Copies of this chain bind each other. A is one copy, B any other.
Amino acid sequence: MSIAHDLHHDAPHDLTEEVRAIAVRAKAASAVLAQAPTAAKDHALIAAAAELRRRADDLLAANALDVTVAEAAGMAPAFIDRLTLTPARIDAMAAGLNAIAAFPDPVGATLAEWTRPNGLRIQRVRVPLGVVAVIFESRPNVTADAGALCLKAGNAAILRGGSDSLNSAKAIAAALHAGLAEAGLPEDAIQLVATRDRAAVGALLALDDLIDVVVPRGGKSLIARVAEESRIPVLKHLDGICHVYLDRDADPEIARTVTLNAKMRRVGICGAAETLLVDTALSDDVVRPVLDDLIAAGCELRGDAAIRALDARIRPATEEDWATEYLAPILSVRRVDGVEAAIAHIGRYGSHHTECIVTENEAAAEHFFAAVDSAILLLNASTQFADGGEFGMGAEIGISTGKLHARGPVGVNELTTYKYQVRGTGQVRP
């Protein structure tokens, strides 16, 4: 039983030891999962999806407890919204599990193979990472998403959600456990750190002998804290200061639609554009409609002098604006002298996440793609495509702006590693 013992009880206990015990169980489960057949993993996911739907009333009741407490505590409406489950959201969670089940199993794939002159046959084979810890805020659906992605990749998951969503998370985890049990897989494959004690996170992050990777999901302060404290490798992005660059050879219509979507489709996601760079050589007649669209959609613009000359409604941008991820309907806008200056601006202020160039000039696009050191570069497409689902990865556990292991969307493939399997016939090294 993985979550039956709520760590948040009255009796004295050693939190560090309890968290370690969870990780020890996860390690043991990971050895089973690493060799679990695809059919068993998919069975567990599909059964868990059915359980989520079957238990919808229980989930809503558990969630109502969380929401009531959060409302009484005066949490902000956006927080309450993220915390709240609805029948539609439960259905979406279940659909997510089914979609992950339908995704190809990454484990066991031969990534490369070759034979050496001495006859040794070398294969690089994809295997699970082992134990993955996911630390997130009070968004109940992450419990299901993260647990399912880890399971599909053959990893044991240790989930630590925001304490405000604990009742909801426990109800969701119970449904996942029912699915695991139905498929004959260990319930310890997906464990919840079921405590409100924040020290549990620190205890988890010290277990580099048992946990292979940590994925923090949430706001910058959560991620920064995890990255600072962790003894375990972390897959993360801190900022998503994404840029759209409108080149002198931009198609006017694409400039309008892509910029508006990149900024305003959803302003609170990491792939939302935060800065618009406009080539000095791009006609004002092309630029003005882009700015008009944004203002009409309710976006506040902060521009440099050249941009402000185009429209009196644009406020002055400060140095700080270029380095700010607003996650709000605000966009900083700057004139730059061609693609080279755009690249330099992004190099100075960017966060290596996602950038877009709008141009019909293939050479400019190639140069932008080659010179900008970001996880995702787009030509004539919205930065809001920076998403594992949109990339066709089925689902993502997050986006990585680090360069080691995974860069960009982290899906099931990125939650694996590999081992070398070498077959000989008695070869010895000279």
Contacts and interface: CB of A to CB of B under 8 A. Distances in A.
A35 interface: yes
Given A114-B392, A402-B233, A376 B419 contact: yes
A5 interface: no
Of A261, A404, A421, which is in contact with the most chain B CB atoms at under 10 Å from its CB? A404
Contacts of A129: 403-404
Contacts of A419: 369, 373-377, 407-408
A260 B385 CA distance: 56
Contacts of A403: 129-130, 212-213, 417
A253 B370 CA distance: 54
Contacts of A127: 373
Interface string A208-227: 00001100000000000000
Given A407-B417, A417-B404, A419-B407, A380 B426 contact: yes
Contacts of A20: none
Contact of A382 (B253, B408, B429): B429
Interface in A383-430: 384-385, 387, 390-392, 402-405, 407-408, 417-429
A426 B381 contact: yes
A103 to B, nearest CB: 14
A258 interface: yes
A3 to B, nearest CB: 26
Given A114-B392, A212-B403, A404-B404, A257 B422 contact: no
A61 interface: no
Given A262-B428, A378-B424, A381-B423, 9 more contacts: A122-B392, A129-B403, A373-B419, A375-B419, A376-B422, A380-B424, A382-B427, A387-B429, A405-B405
19 contacts: A116-B391, A116-B392, A212-B403, A212-B404, A233-B404, A258-B427, A258-B428, A261-B429, A265-B429, A374-B419, A375-B419, A378-B422, A379-B422, A379-B424, A380-B425, A391-B420, A407-B418, A407-B420, A408-B420
